[in-house]
């Protein structure tokens, strides 16, 4: 089985392949040798069709004879090549069209990189092909150890920052290269159901299930338990559970002895599509959610969508709100599927993870683009605060927040569509017994607010086109919130 690097021109395939094996085969180099001239001259003298035909032959030969092969950007256009790749371990390098253009745009030996518009069109056309053949979707060159993770049929995502994300059945047992002994932090419910799937544990710390446990008091008990069990700076934490465990255990790992690695092992839909990625960790204060925390990128994220089978229906529904949010941010094929009401399967979980990682890669510390992930959360968090974190699940509040954000965006048809999706999943689309003014006041304490300025909102221009940092008049916020409360008699939020 060969390791194959694919991806668009300028993604860095040749360099990544040589880093894995100095003797890596490169299809463009092989073609230049065969024709006795540079790629640009082959195109000019023989035409693209002749180039592609020769490329197909050269690639099939190299796959059969080399340990590491780097493919020209267009090699995946051949169905025979795509078919042959099924036998091999394929890494798709994806660094974004801007980075590719910066590297190769206008290069005279790159006949297809002459003008930017057709370069971008080609990028969009080929992206699904790379994705289709890839076992590893990488935003940076992979290490040998990371490639091993994909050998047992697991899908691997490699974000620019942070460790590998491994998705598939049996992911909790994947041999991630994180040093030291593992101490598992989990909640009592998840411990009973899934703890046995995590191999090689030096210690286990259980917290009570649910949001009320996401406090500094619980964190202190966890720090003390880590100390009592002898965890050192050479060891690491595995966070097995939903977003509460992930946020709290990540925060404990970020701070214990000034920081030890954390491996996220998400077991809820919320955590598998959203909270396990991106490195935000923390706890709630009585004043507001997630008010104390730290950035701590996971050393690895182990995602087994099969674990969701034990998830109660309401918890799955709560995660579905984050799926809808993520699909609105992503647009494209993910929104096409989710917007059409298709069920959440492994591919949707993987696509959501990828969307979140792409946004985080562009802006780890929340300076701009990352705030897109806050879509629906300004009003959602405010509703949670006003209801004391106890009445609604986080995802239920986010669903309501999405409806408010879409109204504030002037997206009335999209709001109706999303309301239909949420209702179909059993999520509330309205709420009883809450004072809109209290919700509006709580939005003013949002963490995204800087200094004494207004709270910035995330608004939607279209699926895939989300704008951050938008000022919204307080009256408009009040109206969008009040609307959520006005249909309370027809379908009210279920209290827990």
Ligand X SMILES: NC(=O)c1ccc[n+]([C@@H]2O[C@H](COP(=O)([O-])OP(=O)(O)OC[C@H]3O[C@@H](n4cnc5c(N)ncnc54)[C@H](O)[C@@H]3O)[C@@H](O)[C@H]2O)c1
Position among 310, 367, 450, 494 found at the interface with ligand X (CB under 6 A): 310
Q: Degrees (nearest 5) of the Cα angle 14, 61, 92?
A: 35
Closest CA to 195 of 244, 247, 265, 263: 265
> Does residue 268 touch ligand X according to CB under 6 A?
yes
> Does residue 315 touch ligand X according to CB under 6 A?
yes
State the nearest-atom distance from the C-beta of 332 to ligand X, in Å.
22
**CA 183, chain centre distance (Å):** 25
> Does residue 14 touch ligand X according to CB under 6 A?
no
> Does residue 271 touch ligand X according to CB under 6 A?
yes
With 0-12 / 13-18 / 19 or more C-beta atoms within 10 angstroms meaning exposed / middle / buried, residue 284 is: buried
Task: Please enumerate in sequence order all residues whose Cβ is within 8 A of that of 423, keeping only pairs 6 or more positions apart, or say none.
Answer: 429, 491
Report yes or no: 126 and 77 within 8 Å, Cβ to Cβ.
yes
Instruction: Measure the N-to-C terminal CA separation of the chain; round to a whole number of Å.
Output: 53
State the nearest-atom distance from the C-beta of 243 to ligand X, in Å.
2
Position among 178, 205, 219, 307 found at the interface with ligand X (CB under 6 A): 307
Closest CA to 448 of 466, 468, 463, 462: 468
What binding mask, one character per residue, do residues 372-411 give for ligand X by CB under 6 A, x or -? ----------------------xx----------------
Tell me whether residue 136 or residue 262 sits nearer to ligand X (CB atom).
Answer: 262
Position among 73, 141, 241, 436 found at the interface with ligand X (CB under 6 A): 241
Rounded to an integer, what distance in angstroms lies between the CA atom of residue 207 and that of residue 151?
A: 34
Rounded to an integer, what distance in angstroms lies between the CA atom of residue 234 and that of residue 486?
A: 55
Report yes or no: 71 and 27 within 8 Å, Cβ to Cβ.
yes
> Does residue 165 touch ligand X according to CB under 6 A?
no
Tell me whether residue 4 or residue 262 sits nearer to ligand X (CB atom).
Answer: 262
Position among 13, 214, 354, 407 found at the interface with ligand X (CB under 6 A): 214
> Does residue 446 touch ligand X according to CB under 6 A?
no
Rounded to an integer, what distance in angstroms lies between the CA atom of residue 335 and that of residue 324?
A: 8
Stretch touching ligand X by CB under 6 A, among 67-75, 138-146, 238-246, 462-470:
238-246
Rounded to an integer, what distance in angstroms lies between the CA atom of residue 88 and that of residue 145?
A: 16
Task: Please enumerate in sequence order all residues whose Cβ is within 8 A of that of 99, keeping only pairs 6 or more positions apart, or say none.
Answer: 10, 11
> Does residue 324 touch ligand X according to CB under 6 A?
no
Count of residues interacting with ligand X (CB under 6 A) = 31
Position among 318, 352, 386, 419 found at the interface with ligand X (CB under 6 A): 318
Residues of this chain that interact with ligand X (CB under 6 A) are 187, 189-190, 193, 209-211, 214, 241-245, 247, 267-268, 270-271, 274-275, 278, 280, 289-290, 307, 310-311, 315, 318, 394-395
């Amino acid at each position: 089985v060969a390791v194959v690097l694919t991806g668009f021109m300028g993604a860095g395939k040749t360099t990544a392949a040589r880093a894995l094996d100095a003797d890596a085969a490169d299809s463009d180099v092989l073609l230049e040798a065969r024709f006795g001239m540079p790629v640009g001259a082959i195109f000019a003298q023989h035409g693209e069709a002749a180039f592609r035909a020769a490329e197909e032959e050269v690639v099939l030969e190299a796959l059969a004879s080399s340990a590491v092969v780097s493919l020209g950007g267009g090699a995946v256009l051949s169905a025979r090549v795509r078919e042959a790749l099924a036998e091999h371990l394929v890494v798709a390098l994806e660094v974004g069209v801007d980075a590719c253009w910066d590297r190769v745009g206008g290069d005279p030996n790159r006949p297809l990189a002459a003008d930017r518009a057709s370069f971008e069109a080609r990028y969009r056309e080929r992206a699904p092909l790379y994705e289709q053949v890839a076992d590893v979707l990488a935003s940076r060159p992979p290490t040998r150890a990371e490639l091993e993770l994909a050998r047992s049929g697991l899908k691997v995502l490699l974000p620019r920052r942070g460790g590998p994300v491994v998705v598939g059945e049996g992911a909790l047992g994947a041999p991630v290269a994180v040093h030291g002994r593992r101490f598992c932090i989990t909640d009592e419910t998840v411990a009973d159901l899934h703890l046995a799937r995590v191999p090689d544990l030096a210690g286990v710390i259980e917290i009570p299930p649910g949001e009320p446990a996401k406090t500094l008091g619980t964190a202190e008990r966890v720090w003390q338990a880590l100390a009592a069990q002898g965890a050192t700076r050479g060891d690491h934490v595995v966070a097995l559970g939903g977003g509460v465990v992930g946020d709290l255990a990540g925060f404990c790992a970020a701070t214990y002895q000034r920081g030890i690695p954390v491996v996220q092992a998400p077991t809820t839909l919320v955590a598998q599509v959203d909270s396990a990625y991106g490195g935000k960790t923390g706890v709630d204060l009585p004043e507001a959610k997630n008010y104390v925390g730290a950035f701590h990128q996971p050393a690895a994220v182990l995602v087994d969508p099969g674990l969701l089978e034990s998830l109660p229906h309401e918890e799955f529904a709560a995660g579905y709100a984050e799926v809808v949010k993520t699909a609105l941010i992503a647009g494209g094929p993910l929104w096409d599927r989710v917007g059409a009401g298709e069920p959440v399967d492994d591919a949707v979980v993987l696509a959501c993870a990828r969307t979140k990682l792409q946004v985080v890669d562009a802006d780890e510390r929340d300076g701009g683009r990352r705030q897109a992930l806050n879509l629906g959360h300004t009003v959602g968090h405010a509703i949670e605060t006003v209801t004391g974190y106890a009445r609604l699940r986080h995802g239920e509040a986010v669903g309501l927040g999405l409806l408010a954000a879409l109204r504030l965006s002037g997206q009335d048809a999209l709001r109706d569509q999303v309301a239909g999706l949420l209702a179909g999943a059993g999520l509330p689309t309205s709420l009883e017994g809450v004072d809109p003014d209290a919700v509006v006041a709580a939005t003013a304490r949002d963490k995204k607010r800087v200094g004494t300025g207004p709270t910035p909102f995330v608004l939607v221009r279209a699926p895939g086109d989300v704008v951050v940092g938008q000022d919204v008049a307080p009256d408009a916020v009040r109206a969008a919130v009040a609307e959520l409360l006005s249909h309370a008699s027809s379908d009210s939020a279920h209290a827990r």
